[in-house]
Structure 1
């Protein structure tokens, strides 16, 4: 969208269509080495217009200046660009994602007495997280954008080692080559890595050579809860609740460790926020939580209102203790009815979707949810291997390190010490025994939703796949915009910073084009520059005459 708004002519190729979050077949099939650590791909990825935003909760969190700095306790970290190279594009990213202003610090003061922890960092939330019906519809209607749907990328053709000559796409069993001046792979972290790994099997010297950086350093986040936070003044929970701000979007304050504290305690970037007790734990004796649990435990209803991965996390494992939950509801049925109507109205019937709800606790006790950075690990990786029958398989070997768990333990201790010293509250762990806390963290260590690092950005081709402009090393006209280019995971989920990098890349591409006209985008073999698409390939096509005057021809490929 940004490229088209600048004036570039864009051909968008997508393996899916405009239907709601298609799954599609995986090419090649996928093997998750440790299913306890990585969610199944049918819960984490979607194709088509809107992509995985069909599963996205809408959280927008910016990377901060410290996230771009080299840290001695983070091996394999570091960026070839700085905060000042990305931050100017935050406002445009916020506009495209519809999360209000690019403001990520609350105007309210920090809580008194905190010296190593901040209480004013914000996460913003998209007004409506499913981007297909809104942003996607504007893309499809844009006069500078042509879209080819149900067309899967199967190969990248090269003129020589330094230049892409075209993308080979497949539709309804037919293959054709699409040509442009420049190509951008905007496919999601796993898919873009898989595509390049398949090319590398045929061209072993490509992308840093086999067993080079491509596919390595696979990261996500560690998230869960191992403690409750008890606030001395229960009313202070209002400061950490979802609020609708002056930009008519929801924001939430969190606890975050200051950069100086991260360096002092040698911990990774970690944030904490208030949460409800687990829905499935009937011992909370809260009728509203039990009613929500029973609703989402009924699969047809739960899948209609929540992404399946989130639903499964909230309902826990069997047994469900349905009777105990019904008893909770019957204690205060009218209170439950009022709460549920409010949740439904603000979350599902409002133009500005409330991302969640926190039921107030008279005693000031809340679950404390952590969201922690993961270290770059070259042995956490994707690779293409052969099954016993010779079939190619995408092997997902996603790993955490002991250092990831150590960091979470120390980060909790820092927050607990700060809250107690300031008289604000305290943490109460699920387990007093440190070994049991560590075991609980390991039990919760799982991701697969934030696919980071496998085509990482670096100024050294031996350590990364793309440079600071997201251009593939050694290839003059191939770019990647994806969470996979991030060299670290930080504590933020990657959506917002990836959007900012995509906007930055669009402007970079615009600066590469000469003003004189050049032939229009089309399929290989055309002689007059006018696109003649293969019969049967669905295309949204508008105003080719107007496009011929721009001379600007990027191709954003899926």
Structure 2
């Protein structure tokens, strides 16, 4: 409902930000505590916001490696799920170990990991990504299956899976439930501006919002507040309200620092030696219709021994923009993506860029591929369009069979928690400056992960890697192709002490009693995993904590 429709100015819980995390906290708490009043406040409009003052006041210092805000975040009911692809991935045990490669940046532990994983089933319910585990080894139907003929699991695993959410846009999916939950109010067009004073017990009683419709201020009082506005805006709000930390004697040193995403791209293909029809290149499906897919990953033991960053590598299509792939279907889809109006409807900017690389490249050669591949050049894209856009359970992606048993490899790698990668306020106190770069360790670890995968495939007699660049050119190639800003984490990290982080294990802001952050900004390490699903587990855990700690009895 609109700002004029809120029933109270005082709530038991106020959640700032209506992305998946904020929505899950608000719904879980409201359902479990029907006598409690909950407010879900969102900066954007119900149906999303185009140009806005928050994104206009972001200064991206490295556009080569970091997407601009309009390409990687969204304002509106559902938050950035408005353009989310739906990939759900679980973190790994090694992500919670303070390995030398992360330079003391791992400020959470495996006990916390085990606890948060206990909320997996409830999180999967919201994401509707299937009830199964994130390992094929735990699934009877696939326990002994392999990615390709002759593959043996050991130093390298092919059993880790990514699952896919059915509601990739949480706003349309959960709007009706929000409106039907009588003790939950929705306030849209509201920017959280001023956090109230902190008393001697660390209590905060109010937050002031500015309404985008008329510029007026609305003060909301609550027993507890959750900042779930995404990494950029959660960090900016805390930076702008440094008085929140007065009980600590100053702002935590970690606030805004250790910003991470993922190093991502393609530098090689794999050529399997076995029967191409036995290669598991595409999607698998649960009985309920949910999709999941294999990923290569080095074992935790190998990562520890080699001191490497956690990295997932999966089978992919060749580069769409290069007509040398010879596929009429791929050329047709590429041409559709570079068509100005159609391309914007088919995929959000960051995903479209991953396909086109921002290039209008060799159109005549692509047309030749289309003509040579008829009628499949038209039939395959049409089939994909139907399954991807017209069905309720949408096809998450497109992976094409290769009769030569050769597939591109897409890598998705953890980054070192580097304090030089950071978000900070400019001199105007409003503009958020983002400094983000790739370290030598980030790049070198990607290369070494590929080398170990290649060695293992050769040792198994399963296949081998074919690099797209000479060995000496790989570092520059990775630095040129990798661009993130989509998977933001690290700037309000969890730690057991305020000297090391911004929030405690319960996501409570250090120095306060009732202010929390529920954003992937609390993740100290970025893993190989997309953060949305695991953040959903944290969101449900936080709702339970709030129910036990703050709900009136």
TM-score by length of 2: 0.89
Post-superposition offset of 1:20 = 3.9
- Contact (CA 8 Å) 1:21, 1:51: kept in 2 or not? no
- Contact (CA 8 Å) 1:128, 1:353: kept in 2 or not? no
Aligned mate of 1:74, from 87, 102, 115: 102
User: Could you say which residue in structure 1 is the equivalent of 2:30?
Assistant: 4
Once the two structures are superposed, the pairs formed by residues 407-418 of structure 1 within 5 Å of their partners are: 407-418=445-456
Alpha-carbon spacing, 1:514–1:196, altered in 2? closer, same or farther (3 Å): closer
Post-superposition offset of 1:431 = 1.6
Post-superposition offset of 1:496 = 0.5
User: Could you say which residue in structure 1 is the equivalent of 2:457?
Assistant: 419
Aligned mate of 1:170, from 204, 210, 230: 210
Alpha-carbon spacing, 1:468–1:87, altered in 2? closer, same or farther (3 Å): same
Q: Find the residue that maps to 1:417 and give its secondary structure.
A: helix
How far apart are the structure 2 equivalents of 1:477 and 1:218? Answer: 25
Aligned mate of 1:129, from 156, 163, 168: 168
Q: List per-residue Cα deviations over 1:487-541 (Å, max 9, x = no partner).
A: 110000000011100000000000014654xxxxxxxxxxxxxxxxxxxxxxxxx
- Contact (CA 8 Å) 1:114, 1:422: kept in 2 or not? no
Alpha-carbon spacing, 1:234–1:358, altered in 2? closer, same or farther (3 Å): farther
Post-superposition offset of 1:48 = 1.6
How far apart are the structure 2 equivalents of 1:110 and 1:64? Answer: 22
User: Could you say which residue in structure 2 is the equivalent of 1:140?
Assistant: 179
Post-superposition offset of 1:2 = 1.2
Q: List per-residue Cα deviations over 1:432-458 (Å, max 9, x = no partner).
A: 3x2201111111232100110000000
How far apart are the structure 1 equivalents of 2:78 and 2:504? Answer: 27
Once the two structures are superposed, the pairs formed by residues 148-297 of structure 1 within 5 Å of their partners are: 148-160=187-199, 162-171=202-211, 172-200=214-242, 205=246, 209-210=250-251, 212-235=253-276, 238-297=279-338
How far apart are the structure 2 equivalents of 1:20 and 1:477? Answer: 29
Post-superposition offset of 1:50 = 0.6
Alpha-carbon spacing, 1:291–1:208, altered in 2? closer, same or farther (3 Å): farther
Q: List per-residue Cα deviations over 1:29-79 (Å, max 9, x = no partner).
A: 111111112100011111121110011000000112332233233221130
Post-superposition offset of 1:139 = 2.0
User: Could you say which residue in structure 2 is the equivalent of 1:551?
Assistant: none
- Contact (CA 8 Å) 2:107, 2:494: kept in 1 or not? no
How far apart are the structure 1 equivalents of 2:56 and 2:194? Answer: 13
Q: Find the residue that maps to 1:351 and give its secondary structure.
A: coil
Q: List per-residue Cα deviations over 1:340-389 (Å, max 9, x = no partner).
A: 22201211111111111111111111110001001111111000022xxx
TM-score by length of 1: 0.88
Post-superposition offset of 1:140 = 2.8
Alpha-carbon spacing, 1:208–1:343, altered in 2? closer, same or farther (3 Å): farther
Q: List per-residue Cα deviations over 1:182-215 (Å, max 9, x = no partner).
A: 0001100111001111112x67747773471110
Q: Aligned residue pairs: how many?
A: 511
How far apart are the structure 2 equivalents of 1:185 and 1:268? Answer: 30
User: Could you say which residue in structure 2 is the equivalent of 1:100?
Assistant: 130
User: Could you say which residue in structure 2 is the equivalent of 1:453?
Assistant: 490
Q: Find the residue that maps to 1:230 and give its secondary structure.
A: strand
Alpha-carbon spacing, 1:502–1:237, altered in 2? closer, same or farther (3 Å): farther
Q: List per-residue Cα deviations over 1:70-109 (Å, max 9, x = no partner).
A: 3233221130552221011111111111211151011322
- Contact (CA 8 Å) 1:458, 1:468: kept in 2 or not? yes
- Contact (CA 8 Å) 1:28, 1:394: kept in 2 or not? no
User: Could you say which residue in structure 2 is the equivalent of 1:62?
Assistant: 90
Alpha-carbon spacing, 1:257–1:21, altered in 2? closer, same or farther (3 Å): farther
User: Could you say which residue in structure 1 is the equivalent of 2:115?
Assistant: 85
User: Could you say which residue in structure 2 is the equivalent of 1:535?
Assistant: none
User: Could you say which residue in structure 1 is the equivalent of 2:474?
Assistant: 437
Q: Find the residue that maps to 1:336 and give its secondary structure.
A: helix
How far apart are the structure 2 equivalents of 1:455 and 1:391? Answer: 18
How far apart are the structure 1 equivalents of 2:286 and 2:55? Answer: 43
4+ runs deviating over 6 angstroms: none
User: Could you say which residue in structure 1 is the equivalent of 2:423?
Assistant: 382
- Contact (CA 8 Å) 2:195, 2:244: kept in 1 or not? no
How far apart are the structure 1 equivalents of 2:398 and 2:55? Answer: 39
How far apart are the structure 2 equivalents of 1:119 and 1:431? Answer: 25
Post-superposition offset of 1:129 = 0.8
Alpha-carbon spacing, 1:60–1:203, altered in 2? closer, same or farther (3 Å): closer
User: Could you say which residue in structure 2 is the equivalent of 1:402?
Assistant: 440
How far apart are the structure 1 equivalents of 2:76 and 2:264? Answer: 28
- Contact (CA 8 Å) 2:244, 2:511: kept in 1 or not? no
- Contact (CA 8 Å) 2:268, 2:465: kept in 1 or not? yes
Root-mean-square deviation (CA), in Å? 1.9
**1:39 maps onto 2:81 in alignment:** no
- Contact (CA 8 Å) 2:282, 2:400: kept in 1 or not? no
Q: Find the residue that maps to 1:181 and give its secondary structure.
A: strand
User: Could you say which residue in structure 1 is the equivalent of 2:19?
Assistant: none
How far apart are the structure 2 equivalents of 1:311 and 1:416? Answer: 30
Alpha-carbon spacing, 1:208–1:488, altered in 2? closer, same or farther (3 Å): farther
- Contact (CA 8 Å) 2:231, 2:519: kept in 1 or not? yes
